[in-house]
Amino acid sequence: MPRDPVLRGSDPGDGPPELPEMPEPLEAAETAEAGAAEGFDADDARLDDRLRPQCLDDVVGQSKVVERLRIVLEAARRRGDPLSHLLFDGPPGIGKTTLATVLPRELGVDVQITSGPSLSAPKDLLPYLTNASRGSVLFIDEIHRLPPTVEEFLYPAMEDFRIDITLGEGLNARTINMTLEPFTLIGATTRSGMLTAPLRDRFVNREHLDFYDVEDVTEILRRNARKLRTELHEGAAVAIASRSRGVPRKANNLLRWTRDFADAGGHPQITDALADEALRMLEVDILGLDSLDRKYLQILVTVFGGGPAGMQAIAHSMNIVPETIENEVEPFLLRVGFVQRTPRGRVITAAALAHLGLTLDEEPGEGQGQLFD
């Protein structure tokens, strides 16, 4: 199977590391100034990578995690050893991949990038291990989705930097022991509970990334607006950040939408009023609820009388699969206290009813005018 490109590290002694040239789509971002000087195209397919921080000093938020990472980085530099294996867990879009690619840049080493679903058998993992150079990083995203055979193949590679390869079958089978260069495995997962204990315990350092506060997301938006060469008013930045659910990826998506909205209307700046208008068109309300979230809550009220209601029944009423609700809709509604899970099913809360402007006796559609106020 085709392998993902390798990102080459820079010499950490040459100042702030930059990601060198490499095959798409993993080419690194330059700074906003360098991008502008080189004719930076904000609509490029590599936009996500260009908006990512390029060193730890550029990372906004997650201050305690970043502080601990600085310690392990400095310890690895002083000893001249590879970085200890590291696991990042947290919700999607929170910065796990960003940190996993920043660390090799800080050390000036190569990084290979792959994901759990793409490693269906040990033979798929073998090229990454044999091509690893001393101190280099292998980043496996969605590591909780590794098949058991691949996971077990990783154990000796992580602990002893060796792998056992079996050639032939039956009585003619023989095992070759291959020594690997010492490397660092960085894993990322949105479901740490799905990791097996043997795999989880082999990560010396484990870091949980939490949601960002509005102030940190606002600062991320300011920086990325400059990279996009877009003038973003302060009130507009706060409005977008407030609707991002504390997730930088979602904030960047909303920023790009408001930028498109402004450009399509011939507006040179994203003003407070323009951002509000753009977000209304996108049907994202002041708390970040979108149309699917509101449909879930409204069905819980109008069809099930506020609950309790089972997941399958709600999914059938919404005409979507339960996995979409569990993975995309409910996590945020549970976090803001709009839904409760009980042994009998989901129940809407008074806070959700107040936000929607509904009561349990009200007909659907009443009070909807306040969704975006």
Residues annotated as catalytic are 96-97, 141, 190, 249
DSSP characters over 13-55: GGSS------STT-PPP--HHHHHHTT--TTSTTHHHHHS-SS
Q: Please tell me the distance from the alpha carbon of residue 256 to that of residue 216, in angstroms, as a whole number.
A: 18
Rounded CA gap, 96 and 105, in Å?
Answer: 15
Answer yes or no: are the C-beta atoms of 298 and 314 closer than 8 Å: no
For residue 5, count CB atoms less than 10 angstroms from its CB and return exposed for 0-12, middle for 13-18, buried for 19 or more: middle
One-letter amino acid of 365: G
- How crowded is the C-beta side of 159, counted as CA atoms within 13 Å? 12
Phi/psi at 128 (5° precision): -65, -40
**CA-CA distance, 328 to 226, in Å (whole number)?**
30
**Cα end-to-end distance, the chain, whole Å:** 52
Q: How far is residue 176's CA from residue 293's CA, in Å, rounded to a whole number?
A: 54
Between CA 344 and CA 329 the distance in angstroms is 19
Q: Which two tokens stand for residue 304?
A: 């099930």
Q: Please, where are the H alpha helices in 38-188?
A: 47-51, 63-79, 96-107, 122-130, 148-160
Per DSSP, helices labelled H in the chain are 32-37, 47-51, 63-79, 96-107, 122-130, 148-160, 197-201, 214-227, 234-242, 248-264, 272-281, 291-302, 311-318, 322-324, 330-335, 350-356
Separation CA 52–CA 95 (nearest Å): 9
By three-state DSSP, how is residue 306 classified? coil
